[in-house]
Structure 1
Amino acid sequence: METAYTIYEQQMLKKLKRWEIRQQRTPNLMERASKSVQTSINNLIPDKVHKTITATVKGIVQTTLFGMNYIPKNDPLYGVSLADSDAKAEELLSLYKKIAAAEGAGTGAGGILLGLADFPILIGIKLKFLFELAHAYGYSTKDYRERLFILYVFQLAFSSPNKKPDLLHTIKNWHTISHSFPPAEDYMNQVDWQQLQQEYRDTIDFRKMLQLVPGIGAVVGAWANFGLLEELGVAGMNCFRLRRLHDKAESDAFESK
């Protein structure tokens, strides 16, 4: 029995196929050159600095993923159509882009120290958005596996082209892979935190460095944060669309037995 997708869902399936192809393409010449320059710069940064940044990112992500403060107060939207979930997701994305832009403008106008403070604040905004997004698509973040899914979405949005295919594979096969995960605390010990923060920094560095330039910091900060939330929104919505459509196919296959 074939899954009876609605016209809207059929449109999304086509859109998702195009998006998946883009995620799995090989890096172009400019991306390879950029990655090479970033790697050279990272090699010049003292290990002590890398460890400090890594510890900061690890602390923020762990606190967010395993604390209760970020779990939305509203219940997940169970039983609604994909179109309705998408509409709610668009509302959330519009709101969080404005929040991120305002935060970027404020820290960008405050000089280097406030510009540096923007780094952890923006991570928190992004993760809070993903928590809300999960509920828009009907997935409860009270389940730690859903919070781990958010971590994979975050990484997919802000990783180099070389890393994206493996991350996408995990996301597409989440229904089977997630059941093999150890308890949350044990899983966190397996994460390569330095690689995660380095990939994240490499993806956003150029835009965020411009934010530290006197005189244009506020404008660039707002522009950079707005754009980074847009990128996260596209990745997040597509990842949750994949799960919703897969869940529908699985449900139809089960009912046909």
Structure 2
Amino acid sequence: MTAYKYEQRAHDELESWLRKVKKPSSMSKKLTKTMQTKMNSYIPKKVHDSIGEAVRHVVNTALAGTEYGKKQEVILHASLEERERKLEETIAAYRRTAAAEGAGTGAGGILLGMADFPLLLGIKMRFLFSAAAIYGFDTSDYRERLYILHLFQTAFSSERKRLEVVDRLENWGEYIKDKPKELSLNDEVNWTEFQLEYRDFIDLPKTLQLIPGFGAIVGAAANYHFLDVLAETAKNGYRLRLLTEKEDPHK
């Protein structure tokens, strides 16, 4: 396939993805949210508190630290098709890791199920750093880490928050034009809102994972699914950057 044809197909897929993420939630999703809230009421408060703190700590540590970015070789010169072949290989590897980790912790009931939250978060963050490097973006620039955070929120947020974040992604150049390269993520992120949005998105399947025996099946399937959701978001989020900047180099 020629580079032009591949980019045209990618552009069409990007437009389709943007329509999907902007689409209002279905009735079934609203009913799922009601069930999720009910099930959450049966989980002890100390479990919720522990999970919430794990979300904040793992994501904040990953974004503020240097260990994830140092392991990634930024691909500076490659076609979009070459980048995405590499991305598919990376997705497959992370998908297997996430599923295996979910099955292992899910088999152990509530204590190991709780441990799965920070472990899966770490896998997701490493994947996003890998995706950034594959698409040619250097995460030593904190503005790129802020973009990673926005991709994460696009994948795992409520409809209201998702629409807000996608609007920023579509106008990223304007959003960051006055932000310094060494910006403080703590000044940019409402961590309480962030962790609640993430937990609300994943609570139902991950709560089921806490059930001994049944949790192994749910854990593997849920982690596999969530990695796929994040992979689709990362692919189209970086397509948005590359294809938009190619159309308008001043963005």
Identify the residue that residue 172 of structure 1 maps to in structure 2: 170
> Which of 18, 30, 33 is equivalent to 1:32?
30
Deviation of 1:48 after TM superposition, in Å, equals: 7.3
> Which of 72, 75, 78 is equivalent to 1:77?
75
Where does structure 1 lack aligned partners over 5 or more consecutive residues?
Answer: none
Describe the superposition over 1:138-185 as per-residue Cα deviations: whole angstroms up to 9, x where unpaired.
Answer: 001111111110000001000122222111111111122122336532
Identify the residue that residue 209 of structure 2 maps to in structure 1: 211
Q: TM-score, normalised to structure 2's length?
A: 0.89
State the one-letter code of the partner of 1:207.
Answer: P
Identify the residue that residue 134 of structure 2 maps to in structure 1: 136
What is the rounded CA distance, in whole Å, between the counterparts of 1:191 and 1:147 in structure 2? 12
Identify the residue that residue 10 of structure 2 maps to in structure 1: 12
Deviation of 1:84 after TM superposition, in Å, equals: 0.7
Residues 1:250 and 1:159: Cα distance change in structure 2 (over 3 Å): same
Residue 54 of structure 1 contacts residue 197 of structure 1 at CA under 8 Å; is this kept in 2? yes
Identify the residue that residue 123 of structure 2 maps to in structure 1: 125
What is the rounded CA distance, in whole Å, between the counterparts of 1:10 and 1:235 in structure 2? 18
> Which of 220, 224, 238 is equivalent to 1:226?
224
What is the rounded CA distance, in whole Å, between the counterparts of 1:108 and 1:43 in structure 2? 20
What is the rounded CA distance, in whole Å, between the counterparts of 2:232 and 2:104 in structure 1? 25
Q: What RMSD, in angstroms, separates the aligned Cα atoms of the two structures?
A: 2.4
Residue 87 of structure 2 contacts residue 131 of structure 2 at CA under 8 Å; is this kept in 1? yes
What is the rounded CA distance, in whole Å, between the counterparts of 1:162 and 1:43 in structure 2? 23
What is the rounded CA distance, in whole Å, between the counterparts of 1:44 and 1:193 in structure 2? 25
Deviation of 1:198 after TM superposition, in Å, equals: 1.7
Identify the residue that residue 200 of structure 1 maps to in structure 2: 198
Instruction: Give percent identity, aligned residues only.
Output: 43
What is the rounded CA distance, in whole Å, between the counterparts of 1:190 and 1:48 in structure 2? 28
Identify the residue that residue 154 of structure 2 maps to in structure 1: 156
Identify the residue that residue 183 of structure 2 maps to in structure 1: 184
Q: TM-score, normalised to structure 1's length?
A: 0.87
SS where residue 162 of structure 1 aligns? helix
State the one-letter code of the partner of 2:124.
Answer: K
State the one-letter code of the partner of 1:88.
Answer: K
What is the rounded CA distance, in whole Å, between the counterparts of 1:94 and 1:156 in structure 2? 21
Deviation of 1:129 after TM superposition, in Å, equals: 0.2
What is the aligned length?
248
What is the rounded CA distance, in whole Å, between the counterparts of 2:51 and 2:190 in structure 1? 13
Deviation of 1:15 after TM superposition, in Å, equals: 1.0
State the one-letter code of the partner of 1:120.
Answer: P
Where does structure 2 lack aligned partners over 5 or more consecutive residues?
Answer: none
Residues 1:205 and 1:46: Cα distance change in structure 2 (over 3 Å): closer
Residues 1:40 and 1:190: Cα distance change in structure 2 (over 3 Å): farther
Residues 1:114 and 1:44: Cα distance change in structure 2 (over 3 Å): closer
Deviation of 1:49 after TM superposition, in Å, equals: 6.6
What is the rounded CA distance, in whole Å, between the counterparts of 2:39 and 2:183 in structure 1? 33
Residue 51 of structure 1 contacts residue 194 of structure 1 at CA under 8 Å; is this kept in 2? no
> Which of 112, 115, 120 is equivalent to 2:113?
115
